[in-house]
A and B are shown apart, each in its own frame.
Chain A
Amino acid sequence: MTPDLPEADRIGSLEKIWAPPKGWRALSAVNHSIVGRRFMVTAFAFFLFGGVLAMLIRAQLALPGNAFMGPEAYNQVFTMHGTVMMFLFAIPVIEGFAIYMLPKMLGARDLAFPRLSAFAYWCYLFGGLIVAGSLLLGLAPDSGWFLYTPLSSSTYTPGINADVWLIGVTFVEVSAVAAGVEFMATILKVRTAGMALNRMPLMVWYLWVTAAMIVFGFPPLILGSILLEIERAFDWPFFDPARGGDPLLWQHLFWLFGHPEVYIIFLPAAGIVSTILPVLARHPMVGYTWIVVSVVGLGFISFGLWVHHMFATGIPDLALSFFSAASLLVVLPTAVQFFAWLATLLKGRPEMHLPMLFIYGFFFTFIIGGLTGVMVAVVPFDWQVHDTHFVVAHFHYVLIGGQIFPALAAAYYWLPHFTGRAVSQRLGKVVFWLILVGFTVTFLPMHLTGLLGMPRRVYTYAEGAGWEALNLTSSIGGFILAIGFALFIIDMLVQLRTPGQPVCNPWRTGGLEWAMDIPPPAYNIASLPWVRSRTPGNDTPDLTGDLAEGRGLLATPRNGWRETLAVDMIDGQPDQIVLLPGPTWIPLYTAIAAAVFFGGLLVKVYAVAVLGALAVLACGLVWVWDSGLKEDPERLDIGCGATALPHPAAIMPPSLWGLVFLLASNGALFASLVFGTLFLWTVAPNWPPPVLMGSDAPVIVGTLAGLVLALGGALRALRVGGRGHHGGRQAWLVVATLGGLVAAGGFAAVPVVLVPPVSGHAYAAVTAFAGAYMVFHAGLGAVFTGYAFARGRAGWLSAMRMVEVRAAVIWWVYTAAAGGVTLAVVHLLPRVAQS
């Protein structure tokens, strides 16, 4: 495409349209580069906080009988170390990296939902501050980072320490799920032209699988946290065995999240290796398709390992064998990647730059962590080392080896993206050796400490146990490691502030993230490329210059719109112009409202929590009201002779895919609830319950009728609306809204009228909870259709512009399906189980 404006005017317009807000208004920024940087800086700050806690732990354990910390303080410190590192660093730093880098790698100007990523950041920050701040008040969680019941129940942890974890971590998880949904929709739809699935950079495949794992892996823990908080606050006995609950249910829900979490952390790091290694080996990555297959395989199989954290809980041997087999199986896809990396090194001419050094460090450490992982996957061995320091050594080799070394490689590799200058590698080499040596001295002897029987989570040990020298060695290593990270911070600060030689593409790679000025402008690229390979920068001699001069797509701004492309998800053919939002306060306001909600729950002032929830709903409605067009658009020129519709007129814009993935995540939560119900019926003690819910046929029929009316009404509204019958569409939306309210009323009868007292037995508690879940969904479904009705009245809908109605249909398809299952579980399961 030849731009029809002079270059200076075109670039000036782009800069004006995409200009980030200044001063205190910068808090309203939604641009992905800004939000991504905020995520990464905040995550690194939490990493330092968690690191200081690690130093406290090592100081305490350096000597036997050490009085440096008492058991209460130590419990808070080791719980917070794990919680901060896993929830406030490991996942958010990946999110920050992906938010910053994904659009650049995809040849896009931003993510699909910039406001959602800004909202995710604020939720992360507020949730993180709740969790981290509690330590300063001496109210930090102290039941371990997995918060096992009954230790975390109100009986044994009566203060708000456990509530801080449950509420703060759930707040952070809202952020993670939001980011996961955003990444899935963005990768599937918001790519540049020509970027078919087989031309996506490997890093993007890794991030897509990671995002899917977040979307499906976090909900079990969110459910578990909600149930445990309800138990603690209102005495609903989900986990109390005396009243039909089961502590093992918590462990299942936690580890259903917890094991995939390890791979959620590892996969993006492996993606970093698969990106950097071929560049510095000067050879294309060997086995692209094999790696994609192995990453997909890892994504699935990692969900079949959760019970290997529960081998010592008394689960039948044969059931353990399924999980042991899956735990051994997961080695294969990991090995495929390792062999592909080795083959690439062997076929290339590796250059020993600093990032490569950290990748070799990753190989060395992660292999050891992987091998000890195979050992603990074998049930009899796991029984021997369960809850010992061997396990602590193993997972630090996996997590630090599997994430930190690649992350440090990434920091040095992509540093020029932030500075615009070449990397100075001198100090970095000292950093590498300090970290590698410090890490090895800390954690290698710890395997032996564990094999000699030292348990985890003890604040001290007696002299003469044979653990003294090993612990002192680990503590010395820990401080060497800390010095290494301190030097890394100094190196980064120096390199960010020191002037140097400007560079464009320091590693001479063909990746799209380097086909732009660095540091990148707010719009990333002045025009979008039409790519024909995985390394477009190698296909065109001066791709950066061509794109900057407007010889690409969407080169000329129009109407003040922030534009990027959406494509066919398989072949990468352009099919929509996505109109992105500019700076807005609404993500921050929504996150503040959510903070009021979570804060109200934490201090147990529930009226405040209700106000917060209503404020979230109001913010949400304001959020979506601004989107869309009031007139039917025509197909618009995008360059290269191609045209596309603006997304509000598309059949499936990225926002609807976002809704689909959000509901998939919600479905994972619902499936976990059904699993939990069946688990209690099948395994928990003190079942069957003494009193069952009364059978009430009119309630069942009324609820079903409400669901049918709501779904049918939404579908009819879509059909008649698509034919241009404005009045008919509005009428059916009213029918659907009324149906939703009827269904919500029917489900409300379950917790309010039908179940026995909820504190009496886990049966009543879980049944009431299932009813409340459906009240929420049917009620929100009524809001969806009511909102579509209001949009229709205000002139935002037409036969061509039906996004809101489609969203309502998608919501009601899910709600009707979940409602049907809930009716069966609530009303039929007790009868079947009793018979």
Chain B
Amino acid sequence: MREAAAFGVLVAMIAGFLLWTSAFVALYAVFSLACVHDWPMPRLLVVGAWLVHVAGHGALVAWTLRWWRVRPTDPTGSRPFLRLAAVTIAIAALGATVWTGLPVVLTFGCS
């Protein structure tokens, strides 16, 4: 279990970009399926998928900030580094998802 927990810490560090990956796949997949199958209100579906992910990113940023604020027992150990990296990645990934999905707010068309 100790190994799994350690690996979990590593995954938490990169969680922001894992969520960005999910957002990117969701945007492309929902857009493609909605357009090909003539689903009703395709733009709403794509924007919805985007907003759900942006909200998820927001929650992740909040969680990593709380983690970051925990006082480290060893200031020279790995925890301060991991927390700073996790917060930075979470914020960067939030920006990445907002930027990547911005076109669906500005314009829409299945052609």
Contacts and interface: CB of A to CB of B under 8 A. Distances in A.
A196 B28 CA distance: 38
B67 to A, nearest CB: 14
Tier of interface size on chain A: 35 or more
A352 interface: no
Nearest to A653: B3
B81 A198 contact: yes
Nearest to B78: A196
Interface in B1-59: 2-3, 6-7, 9-10, 13-14, 17-18, 20-21, 24, 27-28, 31-33, 35-37
Given A198-B81, A289-B85, A569 B92 contact: no
Contacts of A683: 32, 36
B102 interface: yes
A624 interface: no
A294 to B, nearest CB: 8
Contact of A569 (B3, B28, B111): B3
A592 interface: no
Interface stretch (A40-48, A319-327, A338-346): A319-327
B17 A300 contact: yes
Given A292-B85, A297-B92, A326 B78 contact: no
Contacts of B20: 300-301, 304
Contact of B9 (A297, A570, A682): A570
B100 A329 contact: yes
Contacts of A196: 77-78, 81
A318 B107 contact: yes
Given A300-B17, A325-B100, A326-B100, A652 B3 contact: yes
Interface in A307-322: 316-319, 321-322
A391 B107 CA distance: 29
A188 B11 CA distance: 13
Given A293-B88, A569-B6, A303 B21 contact: yes
Interface in A52-91: none
A2 B13 CA distance: 38
Contacts of A317: 109, 111
Interface string A283-295: 0000001101100
B5 to A, nearest CB: 9
B89 A321 contact: no
A296 interface: yes
Given A196-B77, A568-B6, A569-B3, A289 B100 contact: no
A5 interface: no
Given A316-B35, A329-B96, A304 B24 contact: yes
B1 to A, nearest CB: 8
Contacts of A289: 81, 84-85, 88
A542 interface: no
Given A290-B88, A296-B89, A317-B109, A682 B103 contact: no
B24 A571 contact: no
A329 B36 CA distance: 28
Nearest to B84: A289
Interface string A659-699: 00000000000000000000000110000000000000000
Contacts of B80: 198
A610 interface: no
B80 to A, nearest CB: 8
B108 interface: yes
Contacts of A332: 92
Nearest to A660: B7
Contacts of B7: 569
Contacts of B84: 289
A296 B14 contact: yes
A579 interface: no
Contact of A318 (B10, B96, B104): B104
A458 interface: no
Contacts of B96: 297, 301, 326, 329
Nearest to A293: B88
A631 B98 CA distance: 57
B28 A322 contact: yes
B28 A651 contact: no
B82 interface: yes
Contacts of B18: 300
A476 interface: no
A443 B3 CA distance: 50
Given A297-B96, A571-B77, 15 more contacts: A293-B92, A296-B89, A300-B14, A300-B18, A300-B21, A303-B21, A318-B103, A318-B108, A322-B28, A325-B100, A325-B103, A568-B6, A569-B3, A570-B9, A570-B78
Q: In the A-B complex, list the 9 residue pairs whose CB atoms are closest, starting with the nearest.
A: A198-B81, A321-B103, A300-B17, A196-B78, A652-B3, A293-B88, A570-B6, A197-B78, A198-B78
29 contacts: A197-B78, A198-B80, A198-B82, A289-B88, A293-B85, A293-B88, A296-B85, A297-B92, A297-B93, A299-B17, A300-B14, A300-B17, A301-B17, A301-B20, A316-B31, A316-B32, A317-B111, A319-B32, A321-B103, A322-B101, A325-B103, A329-B96, A329-B100, A569-B6, A569-B10, A570-B78, A570-B82, A651-B2, A682-B32
